[in-house]
Amino acid sequence: MTEQPVDPSGLVSRAVGGDVDAFEDLYRSSSGRVFGLCLRMCGNRSTAEELTQEAFIRAWEKLPTFRGDSAFSTWMHRLTVNVVLGHQRSQGRRRTRESAAGEEWYGDGSTSARRSGVAMDLERAIAALPDRARTVFVLHDVEGYKHTEIAQVAEMAVGTSKAQLSRARQLLRKALTS
């Protein structure tokens, strides 16, 4: 996982002490990574922005529990996954309003998100996956989680994780060849 050159441990210490400027530096160093994760997991730019904000608010609140036994980016990544999964669980039936997500991946088209070719087709196809299949696919194939880790954070059986991954891959292959 690549981060911009900041000194996470020093910044975290300052942020724990209430230094908002230090926390802003932490935000700047990891916001793209966090937003990218939120966007791919929820498939919707506006929701991803909300969740990104929420993840950093949570991080601010939980900074005193950061023990430094992993990189800040790793800690932030796990926290973000929990925020997104919590959001998905809480949304439940409301998710149908967001399920036409493929078109919303583009946002307003003013940023580098508007890319061409296979990558953009793949991004749209991922965004259009069913929630659970998308969650497992992103965590496993994009973020490199193992099925046992997905099972733990997403509160599902390992077998379910494998089945959802298989389903996601099949749907993506079909979407990309149709």
Does residue 28 bind another protein (CB under 8 A)?
A: yes
62 touching another protein, by CB under 8 A: no
Is residue 81 involved in binding another protein (CB under 8 A)?
no
Is residue 48 exposed (0-12), middle (13-18) or buried (19+ Cβ within 10 Å)? buried
To another protein, the closest distance from the beta carbon of 161 in angstroms equals: 11
- First CA to last CA across the chain, in angstroms? 33
Count of beta carbons in the 10 Å neighbourhood of residue 122 = 13
Q: Which is nearer to another protein, 113 or 153 (CB)?
A: 113
Chosen residue from 24, 99, 132, 156 binding another protein by CB under 8 A: 24
Using CB under 8 A as the binding rule, whether residue 112 contacts another protein is answered as: yes
Q: Work out the burial of residue 133: count CB atoms within 10 Å of its CB; fewer than 13 is exposed, 13-18 middle, 19 or more buried.
A: buried
Question: Which segments of the chain are extended strands (E)?
Answer: none
Q: How far is CA 51 from the centre of its chain?
A: 9
- 5 sits near another protein (criterion: CB under 8 A): no
Tell whether residue 110 is a contact of another protein (CB under 8 A).
Answer: yes
Q: Confirm or reject binding of residue 60 to another protein (CB under 8 A).
A: yes
Binding residues for another protein, rule CB under 8 A, total 51
Q: Please state, in angstroms and as integers, the Cα–Cα distance from residue 76 to each residue in 57, 105, 143, 173, following that order.
A: 11, 23, 13, 31
User: Residues 8, 22, 35, 131: which binds another protein (CB under 8 A)?
Assistant: 35
Distance CA 102, CA 131 (A): 12
Interface with another protein in residues 134-163 (CB under 8 A): 141-143, 162
Q: Is 16 within 8 Å of 63 (Cβ atoms)?
A: yes
For another protein, the binding residues (CB under 8 A) are 1-2, 20, 23-24, 27-28, 31-33, 35-37, 39, 45, 48-50, 52-54, 56-57, 60-61, 86-87, 90, 94, 97, 107-108, 110-113, 118-119, 122-123, 141-143, 162, 165-166, 169, 172-173, 176-177
